[in-house]
């Protein structure tokens, strides 16, 4: 090769490398799991890296010369120094948190490197995407020794396009997951739940045509039970493309055309839809077909709105008989991993006579929400804007807004989801009001067909409980947490309190409750006993009976859950014990108290509102 030719080749190579650079997180692809997918779940090699030596040198500067663990480099000779080896470092199961997979990792917060290999024979005409259901908290993703990009936020899905990066054989995928807590993160450093780190939800690759259906909304219009109102979006700005929407059972088969932006409006009048409700969670098989790309979904149709102090589901007043849930398994410790785990949790809610669940305090698994659709449970969905976020930090706001955007993008076709919540127990001040006010406007701009809420705090004076958080003006519900009988007063004092709620809106108690250690029995005045918790519930029902406009509640909480804040050695032992079910699946007395109350409420409410 001449010198000139060598020079040219070098420049070309450099251009090629820089044009490939780090990929960006791709826009979320709606319902990606219904496409042609190949799972990457299973055992992954894992290196626990508390000092980040896989990314930083001894001056805490980024490693140079391809030394990062993402290269998965192997020594080329016996004399070469390489101080890591994925193959000898043990394994972790994906999906799953690392904390409950190795005893030594229970309290661990920091970095873990994950690696797995795979082969993939892609059809040359298609595109390939890598999908992560959730990684907590910061994920840096590398394929075949090149960076794909980063994702921040522990509970929302993300995709990378890997069409030009995948090989037929011997791909290696490396992730550095870091779950260190940070003041400016969402959530911030202080929470009342375990900071489970890792690749906590499914990973798969998905093969799609060159132009594919990237997003769609097929739901009823805000108040109109006969109008399916939505859109279908293609991945490319192609005009006049034909997309077919089929809902055979409802006799719907319609072809619509895209506009300049590759989007087609859906406006279908149908008078024969059976509406979705907890009593009849009717789901229709919906197919969307475009030029070789087919999406199959199961969609329910219902309307939700607020009128005065009523919540109207399909035009009829509904009382939300709910329970709060964390994404945590009482049977196999750690995050919920399988559909079976999730079904078990929702089945317990059904057993309590619930028609509603609060999925606290962050987006739960997409599968959970699909199950709620199937099992007939209304859903309050929320993002981890919890307690004391950095209200003044623009990046923190963008992060929260992104998590909300992704949650809405993912779950907007689920009939069960009726409420988006923007935060929990945040202290009233100007910066916070501005931050949350903007988030509420943002949520409405993305989806004005659901209710907006937040779990507000109360004020107290003597025996009066006030709800006058100014954020209430912007929300659809007067929803608040109230811990009478636990954090203030005893269980037997509860009935003396009264409420003053400033807003003429449906009142929802987003939390109340108290701790009990399953199996610990004593009298009703003894803290931590099952009897105390049961008395607290009974007296709450008397108190709440005095509350005009009460339209529902989600007591705290279905199951005991791990929390680093809960250090009382005998009764808590790093568990928040406000569950109605223990961390080993044992029901406490209060379970039956709530169950009986909901049965009574259901009969009474349904009789009045028939």
The reply to whether 410 sits near ligand GCB by the rule CB under 6 A is no
Compute the distance between CA of residue 529 and CA of residue 526 in angstroms, rounded to an integer: 6
Between 171 and 576, name the residue whose CB sits nearer to ligand GCB: 576
Name which of 341 and 425 has its Cβ closer to ligand GCB: 425
**Residues 171, 144: Cα–Cα separation, whole Å:** 6
| Nearest residue (CB) to ligand GCB, 159 versus 511 | 511
What residues contact residue 375 under an 8 Å CB cut-off, 6+ apart?
281, 343, 346, 347, 350
Q: Which of residues 335-394 bind ligand GCB (CB under 6 A)?
A: 361
Binding mask 467-506 for ligand GCB (x = CB under 6 A): --------------x-------------------------
Question: What is the distance between the alpha carbons of residues 353 and 428, in angstroms, rounded to a whole number?
Answer: 35
Q: Least distance (Å) from ligand GCB to the CB of residue 386?
A: 7
* 583 lies in the site for ligand GCB, by CB under 6 A: no
Q: Determine the length of the chain.
A: 610
- Indicate whether 216 belongs to the interface with ligand GCB (CB under 6 A): no
Report the residue number, 160 or 512, with the smaller CB distance to ligand GCB: 512
Q: Which one of residues 424, 426, 479, 582 is an interface residue with ligand GCB (CB under 6 A)?
A: 424
Smallest distance, Å, CB 426 to ligand GCB?
10
Does 297 bind ligand GCB (CB under 6 A)? Our answer is no
CB 454, min distance to ligand GCB, A: 11
Subset of 183-202 contacting ligand GCB (CB under 6 A): 192
**Rounded to an integer, what is the distance from CA 328 to the centroid of its chain?**
12
Tell the smallest beta-carbon distance from residue 581 to ligand GCB (Å): 15
> Please, which residue, 304 or 590, has the CB nearer to ligand GCB?
590
Count residues near ligand GCB (CB under 6 A).
9
**Which of the residues 9 through 68 are near ligand GCB (CB under 6 A)?**
none
Spacing of C-alpha 367 from chain mean position: 10
List the x/- string, 139-178, binding to ligand GCB by CB under 6 A.
----------------------------------------
Q: What is the DSSP letter of 61?
A: P
Q: Give me the least distance between CB of 557 and ligand GCB, in Å please.
A: 7
CA of 439: how far to CAs of 203, 380, 536, in Å? 29, 16, 35
Alpha-carbon dihedral angle through residues 413, 419, 420, 422, given to the nearest 10 degrees = 180
Angle at 75 between CA 74 and CA 79, to 5 degrees: 170
Give the rounded distance of the alpha carbon of 422 from its chain centre: 12
Q: How far is the CB of 361 from ligand GCB (least distance, A)?
A: 6
Range 121-127 contact pairs with CB under 8 angstroms and sequence separation of 24 or more: 121/168, 122/163, 122/166, 122/168, 122/207, 123/207, 125/209, 125/210, 126/163, 126/207, 126/208, 126/209, 126/210, 127/161, 127/163, 127/207, 127/208, 127/209, 127/210, 127/212
- Closer Cβ to ligand GCB, 68 or 187, answer by number: 187
376 is written with which tokens?
């007939």
529 binds ligand GCB (CB under 6 A): no
Q: Does 533 bind ligand GCB (CB under 6 A)?
A: no
Shortest Cβ 452–ligand GCB spacing (Å):
18
CB 377 within 8 A of CB 359: no
Nearest approach, Cβ of residue 228 and ligand GCB (Å)? 37
Q: Which residue is nearest to ligand GCB (CB)?
A: 192
Helix intervals (H) in 352-420: 366-375, 394-411
Q: How far is the CB of 191 from ligand GCB (least distance, A)?
A: 7
Provide the minimum distance between the beta carbon of 63 and ligand GCB in the complex, in angstroms, as a whole number. Answer: 39
| Residue whose CB is less far from ligand GCB, 411 or 511 | 511
> Could you tell me the two tokens for 360?
């606290």
Out of 277, 396, 529, 576, point to the residue binding ligand GCB (CB under 6 A). 576
Edge-to-edge strands, sheet with 213-220? 213-220, 227-234, 263-269
How many CB atoms are closer than 10 A to CB 224? 11
Among positions 152, 341, 511, 560, the unique one binding ligand GCB when judged by CB under 6 A: 511
Across 327-338, b (16+ Cβ under 10 Å) vs e yields bbbbeebbbbbe
Distance CA 220, CA 197 (A): 38
- Rule CB under 6 A: choose which of 425, 469, 482, 583 binds ligand GCB: 425
What minimum distance in Å lies between the beta carbon of 178 and ligand GCB? 23
Residues near ligand GCB, by CB under 6 A: 192, 361, 424-425, 481, 511, 556, 576, 578
């Amino acid at each position: 090769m001449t010198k000139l030719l060598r020079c040219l080749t070098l420049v070309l190579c450099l251009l090629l490398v820089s044009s490939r650079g780090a990929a960006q997180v791709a826009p979320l692809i709606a319902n990606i799991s219904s496409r042609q997918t190949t799972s990457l779940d299973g055992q992954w090699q894992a290196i626990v890296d508390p000092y980040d030596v896989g990314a930083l040198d001894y001056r805490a500067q980024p490693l140079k010369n391809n030394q990062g663990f993402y290269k998965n480099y192997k020594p080329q000779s016996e004399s070469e120094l390489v101080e890591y080896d994925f193959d000898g470092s043990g394994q972790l199961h994906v999906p799953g948190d690392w904390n409950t997979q190795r005893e030594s990792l229970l309290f661990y917060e920091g970095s873990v490197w994950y690696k797995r290999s795979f082969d993939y024979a892609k059809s040359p005409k298609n595109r390939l995407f890598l999908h992560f259901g959730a990684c907590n908290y910061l994920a840096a993703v590398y394929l075949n020794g090149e960076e794909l990009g980063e994702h921040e936020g522990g509970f929302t899905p993300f995709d990378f396009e890997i069409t030009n990066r995948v090989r037929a054989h011997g791909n290696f995928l490396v992730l550095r997951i870091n779950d260190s807590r940070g003041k400016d993160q969402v959530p911030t450093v202080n929470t009342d739940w375990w900071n489970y780190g890792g690749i906590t939800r499914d990973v798969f690759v998905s093969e799609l045509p060159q132009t594919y259906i990237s997003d769609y909304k097929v739901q009823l219009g805000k108040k109109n039970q006969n109008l399916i109102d939505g859109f279908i979006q293609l991945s490319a700005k192609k005009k006049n493309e034909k997309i077919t929407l089929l809902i055979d059972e409802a006799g719907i088969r319609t072809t619509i055309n895209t506009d300049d932006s590759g989007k087609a409006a859906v406006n279908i009048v149908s008078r024969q839809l059976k509406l979705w409700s907890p009593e009849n969670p009717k789901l229709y098989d919906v197919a969307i077909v475009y030029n070789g790309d087919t999406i199959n979904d199961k969609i329910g149709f219902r309307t939700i709105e607020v009128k005065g102090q009523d919540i109207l589901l399909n035009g009829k007043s509904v009382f939300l008989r709910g329970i709060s849930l964390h994404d945590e398994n009482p049977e196999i410790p750690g995050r919920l991993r399988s559909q079976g785990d999730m079904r078990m949790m929702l089945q317990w809610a059904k057993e309590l006579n619930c028609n509603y669940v609060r999925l606290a305090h962050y987006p739960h698994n997409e599968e959970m929400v699909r199950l709620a659709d199937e099992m007939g449970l209304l859903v309050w969905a929320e993002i981890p804007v919890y307690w004391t976020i950095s209200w003044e930090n623009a990046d923190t706001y963008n992060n929260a807004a992104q998590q909300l955007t992704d949650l809405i993008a993912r779950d907007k076709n689920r009939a069960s989801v009726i409420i988006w919540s923007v935060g929990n127990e945040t202290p009233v001040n100007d910066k916070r009001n501005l931050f949350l006010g903007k988030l509420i406007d943002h949520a409405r701009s993305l989806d004005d067909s659901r209710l907006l809420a937040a779990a507000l705090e109360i004020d107290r004076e003597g025996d009066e409980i006030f709800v006058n958080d100014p954020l209430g003006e912007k929300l659809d519900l007067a929803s608040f947490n109230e811990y009478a009988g636990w954090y203030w007063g005893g269980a037997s004092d509860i009935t003396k309190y009264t409420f003053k709620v400033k807003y003429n809106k449906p009142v929802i108690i987003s939390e109340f409750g108290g701790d009990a250690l399953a199996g610990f029995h004593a009298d009703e005045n003894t803290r931590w006993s099952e009897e105390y918790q049961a008395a607290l519930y009974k007296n709450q029902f008397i108190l709440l009976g005095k509350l005009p406009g009460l339209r529902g509640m989600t007591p705290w909480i279905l199951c005991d859950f791990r929390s680093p804040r809960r250090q009382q050695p005998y009764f808590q032992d790093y568990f928040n014990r406000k569950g109605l079910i223990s961390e080993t699946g044992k029901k406490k007395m209060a379970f039956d108290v709530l169950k009986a109350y909901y049965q009574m409420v259901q009969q009474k409410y349904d009789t009045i509102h028939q």
